[in-house]
């Protein structure tokens, strides 16, 4: 099923629409306020784009430098070309170390490669510990947002899930639900053999991985279990701690309007011999799974993405249909670009077209990714590879043929204006237009008035002479 | 290692560079770029004329409470006051750095050890603090376990006023000069843990502490 | 001052009055206005559908048609964005013709920007005794910075402006998007219409006919026959 049908279903889902209405504006208003009081947003944004570009331009060297430093600090660096390889590596680490339970903090790369399924198949119990991800694990649903994964759920739906999972009386207040989840998850942190986290960036200079959270779950996951596995994309590498300082000024502000998240944790290697806490082993899995396809061409800018979610928060399409309509782990404008590239343009049909090119995402993006331009590039590929339905291709071809031939165009537009004016009748509104029912299903088409401007202008000029 | 080779070769091919691995010259160029430690633009408020006021303001914004005492010896009394005001038990699990203070005199049981799941309050120091964001920076070490700042419901942190810096970049520079490299855990704490994952409603106290209290000493 | 009027394909076909309003404003301000008879379209529908070559062909055609004008003015932020931004920054980037399009882009103005920033008009012929709410079209706003200019001109015509919530939010038109993804487009338009109704103005005014047809179509379908839907040129030229 493709985006168009799924989106139409989501538009008719009253419960979802109600939940989306509650969330509406919170992210956008929060970001706007944070940006306004920041003072040098554009300067930092430009620097951030530069910092990301610099690493991407020499991605192999930055990765090798990162690997050398992480290894020096005692971490084991693994490389995965595909999703399957990434899963096999993590499952292998679990098997080799007799891991029975893994506690996870939020990782979109793990969603992307389907890590939970692979670990469960290997006999490992996987516990999601980010509150939103935990809720979705109970609901057996994928996230609908990369920062706020359960944004599509109401508190009543969450209460229902908790009753089933925790076997306690139904709660009505959000703080009490949060407390109940905290208590349910605390034991898992303490008993897990493996902690799995993502890494928002990896720092070449120091061989450091890092997590950015408000809940503190990532800190539990990276500190308590005896094995820590980081799974992240190869594009996340940056040069220095200073580069991180720049990017972290933008990330929480763009994501949720917060000046800083409650926790930022840079993790460099496993615990030292005489330390009281920290994992005995640290593994870092660097995943390609399609990323190199974006390199070296016009799409490379997409790899700057820092996964803040601002593009989807600001997207009027996302705001109305929610994340699940996009069909894969990355929704909104960034997903409309990543999904076709990662899963194949032929498998992601409508996604590059799921935008009006209103430009809000490009304005909001903290690393200046020209998201509409990249979507247009994908449309160009669809056009060149003849992947769009033939009536659409025919219409564009016919329009192009006519528009480049002024005499023909003038004739057709004169006929068209007259016919459409007649169709508009006395109220000047066309209520149904065959072939354009995408428009007329929910809207009238204000009819042309019978004559084209150029006809009337020629008349006026004739009268003047 | 086939995957490593494949990925690096693919990167190079996509970007029009020969060979399967970065060359020595390319790696040297990257190290050189890194060694510059270029600092990006910073917001004006990051260099506030009154740094302590800026730190306090940001603490307030994030829900970190704070108190200022006139000497390290007064920390136990302030902690006792804080715990009593919140009706919290007069016991803390703390770092060895502060074990020599007169906790008994303030009526507080001091457990000089890493916190465990049963401790209600953890006490830590910090490597430095950052005024721009009201952040406490803890560097892990055998003497500075991270768990004391993470597992208990209340985290009290002793901050030396002279160690309050303007920005994260300054904190990194200080870390390089004093510790060389980042330790295993470089832990930035900015307020109590929170979540907004249910209906985007902010709730304080997700997995980490419900309360963070900074005690500023000269 | 010789000013070429790029009418836009939608105005030509559907609302010639907007073209004549623009003409009246420009001539009234003392411009010598030429309207090349061969003009058709700026090429944006093709461009946004992935048809890069046809978009380039049409851009070249527009360039040739307006070659000897001091300025080119269009009553549309969208077409102006196509000719000022897309040609220079994408379609002809790095090609020999880029310089030609840079020169065209420098002479090309969206109508309200031309009236305010180049002609510096201080009075307009139209009078509008009522309140209007202004919809900011995406391309004009975010590509060109059209925001205060039309409001300033509407103020000159005596219109009171009642800002709607989310004036800068897309109305859901998006060219072929409105047909390809009609359900989402309609919902976005309904959101816009809710804001318009809440603003309670006598007219909703904008600077791009695509948005206006979309909004008018939804208002009428939902039973609102009262709220006028107008291009700002019509209001300030007194042709509304």
Residues of B in contact with A22 (CB under 8 A): 199-200
Query: In A182-211, which positions are buried (b, 16+ CB within 10 angstroms) versus exposed (e)?
Result: bebbeebbeebbbbbbbbbbbbbbbbbbbb
Q: Is A19 helix (H, G, I), strand (E, B) or coil?
A: helix
Residue C107 has pLDDT above 90, yes or no: yes
3-state secondary structure C75-117: CCHHHHHHHHHHHHHHHCCCCCCHHHHHHHHHHEEEHHHHHHH
Residues 6+ apart with CB under 8 A from B61: A259, B134
Question: The tokens of A135 are what?
Answer: 């809720």
Contact state of B14 with A206 under an 8 Å Cβ cutoff: no
Q: Identify whether residues A326 and A205 lie together within a single domain.
A: no
Decide if A130 contacts A215 (C-beta within 8 A): yes
Question: What residue has token string 């990006």?
Answer: B40
Q: How many domains does chain A have?
A: 3
Q: Identify whether residues A216 and A313 lie together within a single domain.
A: no
Q: Identify whether residues A217 and A353 lie together within a single domain.
A: no
Cα nearest neighbour of B196 on chain A: A148
Decide if A446 contacts C217 (C-beta within 8 A): yes
Instruction: Number of helices (H) and strands (E) in chain B: give both, helices first.
Output: 5, 12
Q: Which pLDDT tens digits describe chain A residue by residue (465 residues)?
A: 489 999 999 999 999 999 988 877 889 999 999 999 999 999 999 999 999 999 999 999 999 999 999 999 999 999 999 999 999 999 999 999 999 999 999 999 999 999 999 999 999 999 999 999 999 999 999 999 999 999 999 999 999 999 999 999 999 999 999 999 999 999 999 999 999 999 999 999 999 999 999 999 999 999 999 999 999 999 999 999 999 999 999 999 999 999 999 999 999 999 998 998 999 999 999 999 999 999 998 899 999 999 999 999 999 999 999 999 999 999 999 999 999 999 999 988 789 999 999 999 999 999 999 999 999 999 999 999 999 888 888 999 999 999 999 999 999 999 999 999 999 999 999 999 888 999 999 999 999 999 999 999 999 998 876
Is A23 in the B-facing interface, judged by CB distances under 8 Å? Answer: yes
The answer to whether position B141 is within a domain reads yes
Q: Identify whether residues A360 and A408 lie together within a single domain.
A: no
Which has the closest alpha carbon to A206: A244, A253, A158, A248?
A244
In sequence order, the β-bridge partners of residue B135 are B130
End-to-end CA distance of chain A: 61
Residue B10 has pLDDT above 80, yes or no: yes
Question: Residue C34: what pLDDT?
Answer: 97
The answer to whether position B68 is within a domain reads yes
Q: Identify whether residues A382 and A328 lie together within a single domain.
A: yes
Q: Identify whether residues B91 and B145 lie together within a single domain.
A: yes
Q: Identify whether residues A269 and A121 lie together within a single domain.
A: yes
Which has the closest alpha carbon to A334: A317, B170, C149?
A317
Say how far apart CA A297 and CA A305 lie, in whole Å. Answer: 16
Residues of B in contact with A79 (CB under 8 A): 1, 3-4, 7
Is A262 in the B-facing interface, judged by CB distances under 8 Å? Answer: yes
Q: What is the mean pLDDT of residues B203-216?
A: 96
Contact state of A215 with B208 under an 8 Å Cβ cutoff: yes
Last residue of a domain, one of A388, A411, A443: A388
Q: Identify whether residues B123 and B165 lie together within a single domain.
A: yes
- Report the CATH number of the C131-237 domain: 3.40.50
Question: Residue B62: what pLDDT?
Answer: 95
Chains in touch with C (3+ beta-carbon pairs under 8 Å) read A
For residue B89, with 0-12 CB atoms within 10 Å meaning exposed, 13-18 middle and 19 or more buried, which class applies? Answer: middle
Say how far apart CA A189 and CA A184 lie, in whole Å. Answer: 10
Give me the residue from C57, C173, C183 closest to A7, CB to CB: C183
Query: In A213-233, which positions are buried (b, 16+ CB within 10 angstroms) versus exposed (e)?
Result: bbbbbbbbbbbbbbbbbbbbb
Q: What is the mean pLDDT of residues C37-42?
A: 96
Please give the residue range of the domain that contains residue A339. Answer: 1-37+305-388
Q: What is the mean pLDDT of residues C219-240?
A: 95
Question: Residue A22: what pLDDT?
Answer: 81
Domain spans, chain C: 2-118, 131-237
Give me the residue from B6, B26, B134 closest to A58, CB to CB: B26
CATH code of residue B195: 3.40.50.10420
Mean of pLDDT over chain B:
97
Residue A417, sorted as left (phi over 0), alpha (psi -120 to 50) or beta, turns out to be alpha
Q: Identify whether residues A273 and A167 lie together within a single domain.
A: yes
Q: Identify whether residues A149 and A61 lie together within a single domain.
A: yes
Q: Identify whether residues A410 and A430 lie together within a single domain.
A: yes
Q: How far is CA B140 from CA A310, B124, B154, in A?
A: 33, 11, 19
Is A64 in the B-facing interface, judged by CB distances under 8 Å? Answer: yes
The answer to whether position A53 is within a domain reads yes
The answer to whether position A297 is within a domain reads no
Contact state of C51 with A383 under an 8 Å Cβ cutoff: yes
Question: What residue has token string 């994928």?
Answer: A142
Specify the DSSP element, H or E, that contains B158.
strand B154-160
Question: The tokens of C208 are what?
Answer: 């791009």
How do A202-203 and A237-238 pair as beta strands?
Answer: parallel
Please give the torsion angle defined by the CA atoms of residues A15, A17, A21 and A27, in that order, rounded to the nearest 10 degrees: 110
Say how far apart CA C3 and CA B55 lie, in whole Å. Answer: 58
B36-69, pLDDT tens digit by residue?
999 999 999 999 999 999 999 999 999 999 999 9
Q: Identify whether residues B131 and B211 lie together within a single domain.
A: yes
Q: Identify whether residues B21 and B56 lie together within a single domain.
A: no
Decide if C207 contacts A440 (C-beta within 8 A): no
Last residue of a domain, one of A388, A412, A427: A388
Please give the residue range of the domain that contains residue B154. Answer: 46-217
The answer to whether position B40 is within a domain reads no
Q: What is the mean pLDDT of residues C149-158?
A: 98
Share of chain C above pLDDT 70, in %: 100
Q: Identify whether residues A337 and A382 lie together within a single domain.
A: yes
Question: The tokens of A240 are what?
Answer: 């220095």
Q: Identify whether residues B103 and B123 lie together within a single domain.
A: yes
Last residue of a domain, one of A257, A289, A321: A289
Question: Residue A1: what pLDDT?
Answer: 46
Q: Identify whether residues B52 and B19 lie together within a single domain.
A: no
The strand order across the sheet containing B211-217 reads: B64-68, B211-217, B154-160, B121-124, B91-94, B109-112
Residues of A in contact with B122 (CB under 8 A): none
Q: Is A416 helix (H, G, I), strand (E, B) or coil?
A: helix
Q: Identify whether residues B112 and B52 lie together within a single domain.
A: yes
Q: Identify whether residues A19 and A71 lie together within a single domain.
A: no
Q: What is the mean pLDDT of residues C41-53?
A: 96
The answer to whether position A85 is within a domain reads yes
The answer to whether position B77 is within a domain reads yes
The answer to whether position A300 is within a domain reads no
Q: Is B188 helix (H, G, I), strand (E, B) or coil?
A: strand
Question: The tokens of A170 are what?
Answer: 């139904």
ipTM of the complex: 0.97
B89-141, pLDDT tens digit by residue?
999 999 999 999 999 999 999 999 999 989 999 999 999 999 999 999 999 99
Is B30 in the A-facing interface, judged by CB distances under 8 Å? Answer: yes
For residue B93, with 0-12 CB atoms within 10 Å meaning exposed, 13-18 middle and 19 or more buried, which class applies? Answer: buried
Q: How many domains does chain B have?
A: 2
The answer to whether position A338 is within a domain reads yes
- For B26-125, strand residue ranges (E) read 64-68, 91-94, 109-112, 121-124
Backbone angles phi, psi at B108, to 5 degrees: -115, 135
Q: Identify whether residues A93 and A177 lie together within a single domain.
A: yes
Is C79 in the A-facing interface, judged by CB distances under 8 Å? Answer: no
Cα nearest neighbour of A387 on chain C: C50
Say how far apart CA B46 and CA C184 lie, in whole Å. Answer: 43
């Amino acid at each position: 099923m493709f985006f168009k049908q799924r989106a139409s279903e989501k538009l008719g889902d009253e419960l979802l629409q109600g939940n989306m209405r509650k969330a509406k504006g919170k992210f956008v208003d929060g970001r706007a306020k944070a940006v306004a009081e920041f003072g040098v947003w554009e300067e930092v944004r430009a620097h951030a784009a530069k910092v990301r570009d610099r690493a991407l331009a020499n991605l192999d060297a930055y990765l090798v430098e990162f690997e050398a430093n992480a290894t020096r600090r005692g971490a084991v660096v693994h490389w995965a070309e595909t999703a399957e390889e990434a899963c096999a590596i993590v499952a292998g680490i679990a098997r080799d170390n007799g891991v029975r339970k893994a506690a996870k903090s939020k990782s979109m790369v793990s969603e992307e490669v389907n890590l939970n399924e692979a670990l469960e198949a290997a006999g490992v119990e996987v516990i999601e510990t980010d509150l939103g991800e935990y809720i979705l694990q109970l609901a057996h649903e994928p996230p609908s947002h990369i920062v706020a994964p359960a944004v599509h759920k109401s508190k009543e739906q969450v209460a229902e899930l908790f009753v089933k999972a925790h076997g306690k009386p139904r709660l009505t207040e959000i703080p009490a639900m949060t407390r109940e989840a905290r208590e349910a998850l605390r034991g898992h942190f303490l008993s897990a053999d493996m902690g799995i986290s993502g890494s928002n960036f990896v720092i070449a200079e120091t061989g450091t991985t890092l997590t950015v959270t408000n809940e503190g779950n990532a800190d539990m996951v990276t500190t308590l279990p005896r094995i820590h596995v980081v799974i992240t994309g190869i594009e996340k590498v940056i040069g220095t701690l200073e580069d991180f300082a720049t990017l972290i000024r933008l990330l929480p502000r763009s994501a949720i309007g917060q000046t800083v998240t409650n926790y930022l944790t840079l993790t460099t290697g496993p615990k030292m011999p005489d330390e009281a806490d920290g994992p005995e082993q640290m593994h870092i899995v660097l995943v390609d799974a399609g990323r190199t396809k974006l390199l070296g061409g016009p799409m490379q800018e997409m790899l700057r993405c820092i996964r803040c979610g601002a593009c989807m928060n600001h997207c009027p399409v996302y705001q109305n249909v929610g994340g699940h309509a996009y069909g894969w782990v990355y929704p909104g404008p960034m997903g409309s670009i990543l999904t076709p590239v990662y899963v194949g343009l032929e498998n992601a049909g409508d996604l590059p077209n799921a935008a009006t090119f209103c430009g809000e995402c490009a304005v909001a993006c903290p690393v200046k990714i020209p998201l509409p331009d990249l979507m247009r590039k994908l449309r160009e590929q669809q056009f060149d590879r003849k992947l769009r339905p033939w009536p659409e291709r025919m219409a564009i071809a016919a329009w192009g043929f006519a528009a480049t031939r002024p005499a023909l165009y003038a004739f057709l537009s004169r006929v068209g204006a007259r016919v459409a004016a007649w169709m508009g009748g006395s109220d000047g509104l066309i209520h149904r237009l065959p072939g354009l029912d995408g428009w007329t299903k929910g809207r009238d088409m204000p009819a042309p008035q019978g004559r084209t401007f150029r006809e009337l202008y020629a008349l006026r000029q004739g009268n003047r002479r | 290692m086939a995957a490593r080779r494949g990925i690096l070769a693919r990167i190079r091919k996509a970007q029009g560079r020969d060979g399967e691995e970065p060359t020595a010259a390319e790696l040297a160029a990257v190290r050189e770029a890194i060694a510059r430690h270029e600092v990006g633009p910073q917001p004006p408020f990051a260099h506030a004329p009154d740094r302590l006021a800026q730190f306090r303001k940001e603490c307030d914004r994030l829900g970190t409470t704070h108190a200022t005492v006139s000497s390290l010896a007064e920390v136990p009394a302030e902690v006792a006051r804080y715990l009593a005001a919140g009706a919290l038990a007069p016991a803390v699990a703390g770092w060895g750095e502060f074990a020599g203070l007169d906790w008994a005199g303030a009526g507080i049981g001091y457990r000089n050890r890493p916190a465990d799941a049963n401790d209600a309050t953890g006490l830590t120091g910090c490597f430095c603090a950052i005024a721009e964001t009201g952040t406490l920076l803890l560097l892990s070490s055998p003497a500075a376990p991270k768990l004391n700042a993470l597992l208990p419901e209340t985290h009290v942190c002793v901050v030396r006023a002279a160690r309050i810096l303007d920005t994260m970049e300054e904190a990194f520079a200080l870390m390089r000069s004093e510790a060389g490299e980042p330790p295993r855990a470089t832990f930035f704490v900015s307020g109590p843990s929170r979540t907004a994952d249910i209906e985007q409603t902010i709730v304080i106290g997700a997995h980490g502490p419900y309360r963070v209290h900074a005690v500023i000493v000269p | 001052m010789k000013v070429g009027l790029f009418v836009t394909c939608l105005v030509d076909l559907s609302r010639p009055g907007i073209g004549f309003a623009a003409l009246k404003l420009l001539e009234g301000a003392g411009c010598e206005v030429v309207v090349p008879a061969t003009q058709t379209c700026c090429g944006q529908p093709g461009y946004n559908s992935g048809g890069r070559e046809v978009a380039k062909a049409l851009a070249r055609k527009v360039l040739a048609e307006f070659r000897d004008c001091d300025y080119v003015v269009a009553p549309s932020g969208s077409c102006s964005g196509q000719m000022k931004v897309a040609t220079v920054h994408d379609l002809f980037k790095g090609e020999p013709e880029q310089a030609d399009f840079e020169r065209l882009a420098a002479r090309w103005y969206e109508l309200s920007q031309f009236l305010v920033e180049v002609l510096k008009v201080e009075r307009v012929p139209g009078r509008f005794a009522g309140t209007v709410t202004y919809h900011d079209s995406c391309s004009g706003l975010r590509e060109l910075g059209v925001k205060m200019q039309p409001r300033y001109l509407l103020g000159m015509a005596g219109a009171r402006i009642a800002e709607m919530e989310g004036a800068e939010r897309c109305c859901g038109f998006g060219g072929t998007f409105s047909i390809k993804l009609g359900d989402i487009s309609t919902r976005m338009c309904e959101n816009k219409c809710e804001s318009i109704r809440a603003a309670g103005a006598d007219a909703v005014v904008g600077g791009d006919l695509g948005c206006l047809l979309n909004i008018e179509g939804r208002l009428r379908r939902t039973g609102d026959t009262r709220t006028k839907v107008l291009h700002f040129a019509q209001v300030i030229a007194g042709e509304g």
